[in-house]
Amino acid sequence: MLSRGIISTPHPTSSLRLQPPTATVPRNVTVSLSRPLHSDYPLSISDSVLESRGFALRRSVEGLDLDELNGVFVAVGFPRRDPDKIRLALEHTESMVWVEQRRTRRAVAFARATGDGVFNAIIWDVVVDPSFQGIGLGKAVVERIIQDLVGKGISNIALYSEPRVLGFYRPLGFVADPDGIRGMVYSRKQKKKTGPL
């Protein structure tokens, strides 16, 4: 069984600063998780290795400073968010993983997923503090979110990202949808009418 997902833009969930997209990168790409769904989804970095490097994995809001998290969002290019709205969003989150730097007790990586708890989930807000990018923390949080979701039997996993970071998600098992399905996103922008209907 494959887990379907969507990578679309513009939605600010990327935590990586890579090269700008080339003209050949599509604006909307539907992807599928190519690994079979099972609860022992492979992790590229173990909890014990993360701990030996001075990081602690967290799966609840306990100890998460929302102002500091907001600072990470802003540092990677997200707009500043109302902390009350962040709190409300986290109350409706199916799965959450964040990485705390033990020395400072600050959140340095974060990802969450929402969904119906049975069939569908969407991964949101994948961010890594720019000072900690490139050492596997983004991969660590995304892998654990996927592990949580597939462990619950959720078979449709979507994520939204800018095209320039498709290369980050491919090694995690996401590939262009073999059926050619394209994702769509509702937009409130009104197009000018070009003539009578």
Sign of CA dihedral 19, 24, 25, 27: positive
What's residue 17's pLDDT?
Answer: 31
| Helix H or strand E encompassing 145 | helix 137-151
Low-confidence ranges of the chain (pLDDT < 70): 1-41, 175-178, 190-197
The DSSP secondary structure of 84-134, one letter per residue, reads HHHHHHHHT-SEEEEEEETTTTEEEEEEEEEE-SSSEEEEEEEEE-GGGTT
What's residue 173's pLDDT?
Answer: 77
What's residue 176's pLDDT?
Answer: 64
Catalytic residue among 41, 160, 169, 186: 169
What's residue 197's pLDDT?
Answer: 58
101: β partners: 55, 106
How confident is the model over 73-130, as pLDDT tens digits?
A: 999 999 999 999 999 999 999 999 999 999 999 999 999 999 999 999 999 999 999 9
**Secondary structure E strands in the chain:** 3-8, 28-33, 55-58, 95-101, 106-115, 120-128, 156-159, 174-176
What's residue 195's pLDDT?
Answer: 60
What's residue 196's pLDDT?
Answer: 63
**For residue 64, which of 161, 141, 152, 133 has the smallest C-alpha distance?**
141
- Give me the residue label for tokens 């989930």: 121
| Active-site residue, 169 included | yes
- In the DSSP assignment, the letter for residue 30 is E
